[in-house]
A and B are shown apart, each in its own frame.
Chain A
Amino acid sequence: MKIMVNGEKHEVEATSLAAILVELGHGGAKVATAVNEDFVPATLRETTEIKDGDRVEIVAPRQGG
């Protein structure tokens, strides 16, 4: 299915947020997630199903002021 990841189009096979993270190379990485602008905690990634057209945000710690 086609989804948006961090503002870019992606074609993914997996359907759960957890599996999509692995598919996109974030397995085990220190990241936080949101789906359609709502926060999804790490504990709910396995049970969060992603649908065609959903918008997924994947963020990591970064420099800030």
Chain B
Amino acid sequence: MPTFYGKEINSRLMLGTAQYPSPAILADAFRRSGAGIATVSVRREAGSDKAGQAFWDLIKELDVALLPNTAGCHSVREAVTTAHMARELFDTPWIKLEVIGHADTLQPDVFGLVEAARILSEDGFQVFPYCTEDLVLCDKLQNAGCQVLMPWGAPIGTGLGLNNVYGLRSLRAHFPDLPLVVDAGLGVPSQAAQAIELGYDAVLLNTAVAKAGDPVAMAEGFAKAVEAGALAYQADAMEPRDMAAPSTPVLGKAFLE
């Protein structure tokens, strides 16, 4: 099972907490999935509604590790300030660091990401950077203090799956011992299985479960997919080949011409 910054998690599934039809369905989805980590955020609070307190009460009941994010931040300063506010609110050094560089694709600003990761790591944060699968970027993130990397599968919320399997495989080979998580872009469980089959330690998703017709069933589907993927990776899958090869022995076949 994956270990992030010294903390072992008993699931390869990390789930977001946004966009569910109701708090009850959110809680049921977490229970059925067995997810060990929930991503959460900080947002402006109006004086009257106390929505923050209600959400806080809900996530405490989930009994999972919390990974606050800096979602929606487009600058280093904004991300760093948001991370500090999140650390105080959720009482954890973990931060899913997002520094968004492009409004339409939600692609990370990789230059700002490295700078923010260094600032936060030096300040005692344990950074989970939402990044691309670029090897050079990932080297720089590791040098900046990141002990886990979270490359995207596809742009956030698209459900396209793993757009660059080659790049993700290269990253796994380049960092054999670093925890790697595919974060964002997954739409169906088979894509999660594919990520784990590549040797990734976990997947992080939100929309695919929250926006499914039956989020609770989809959460269980993803849970089973990551288990299947992990078994396949441990079992050392066969190499694909171009030519057919009979699986039934030819020796001993009856001559019936």
Contact = CB atoms under 8 A, between A and B. Distances in A.
B207 interface: yes
A48 B82 CA distance: 19
Interface in A7-65: 7, 24-26, 29-34, 37-39, 41-42, 57-65
A42 to B, nearest CB: 6
B84 A59 contact: no
Interface of A: 6-7, 24-26, 29-34, 37-39, 41-42, 57-65
5 interchain residue pairs of minimum CB distance: A60-B52, A64-B41, A65-B16, A65-B206, A25-B47
B33 interface: no
B53 interface: yes
B24 to A, nearest CB: 14
Given A58-B44, A61-B42, A62-B41, A32 B85 contact: yes
B44 A63 contact: no
A64 B14 CA distance: 12
Nearest to B183: A65
Interface in B172-219: 206-207
Given A64-B16, A64-B18, A30 B53 contact: yes
